[in-house]
Every structure is written in C-alpha cells, then in structure tokens.
Amino acid sequence: MSRITPFLWFDNNADEAVEFYLSVFANSSRMRQLGADPGSTMTFGFELDGQEFVALNGGPHFTFTPAVSFVVNCDTQDEVDYYWDRLTAGGAPSQCGWLTDRYGLSWQIVPRCLPDYLAGADPDGAQRAMQAMMGMTKLSIPDLAAAYHGTGTSHE
C-alpha cells in the first residue's frame, strides 16, 4: 500500500464511481471493500494505473471542488482525446485541459510535452504556447506545437 492514498467522499454512489473509473483506466483493479452487502458497503479500495484510492459512501455532507484535481499525463493526442471524452461524459469541460467528471471530481488531461512548450528555450514560443493553452478547453498537441513554433494553429 502507498504511504499516501487519496480518499474520495461520494454521496452514496461510491461503487458506481469506482466502476466508472475502472472502465476508463485500463491498468486498474478493485482491491478491497469494507461491508458485506453491495448496498451497505462503506468503502471501496481501488487502483488506477498504479495509484491507490479509497472511495467512501459518505453521504451529501461534503463535495469535491476544483481545489484538488488529478492529472492524467498523456503521451499522444489520442490519449488526450480518450481520457477527455470519457471523463467529460456526464461532466463538464473547463479551461486549459481541466474538466469535472460526472461525480464532481476535477481532472487535468495534460500532454507530457506541455512543459517543453511552456518552458522551452524560445521565450517567445513559450509565451505563444501559453496563450494558445489559455484559449483551449481540451488541450491540442498539434496546436500547442504550432503556437510554440510560430506557425499558427493546426486548424488554419
């Protein structure tokens, strides 16, 4: 078990949320649950791509805010599209690669190359990439690259 495990409070739909997250992340598994009956289970332990979580059926007392989010680092635009499409289903897109899923949990779907564009050797290119990112909802690797290199957007 990891030293630090995110503990997620759900409004009595933790089992549904866990099943949803397990369906989104391929390298995932349910680890344990505390409670004998499916309708009375209090907590669910699960792992998404090596990160352990616990989901709690805690009731409506507390809700998620964007003050805490989970970053999904993506190697390709196909990965960005995959996670974006699945996690925004029933949720809401935001700005700069952020979204809120159907359970109110905030995620950032981020290309691994983003720091290369935002902190690259060309300060003007980095500024253009930052401006391009600020205008995006879902991040676009081709558009970030085009902005950094000063070639416009890939859609022009």
The edge-to-edge listing of strands for the beta sheet with 7-10 is 7-10, 51-57, 43-48, 28-34
CB 142 within 8 A of CB 113: no
User: Per-residue b/e over 59-85, b at no fewer than 16 CB within 10 Å?
Assistant: eeeeebeeeebbebebeebebbebbbe
CB 34 within 8 A of CB 76: no
Assigned token pair, 82 = 């995959």
Lowest mean pLDDT of 2-11, 38-47, 93-102, 124-133, name the range: 38-47
Residue 118: pLDDT over 90: yes
Taking residues 27-55, what's their average pLDDT?
A: 84
DSSP assignment letter at 40: G
What is the per-residue pLDDT for 3?
Answer: 87
Taking residues 12-40, what's their average pLDDT?
A: 85
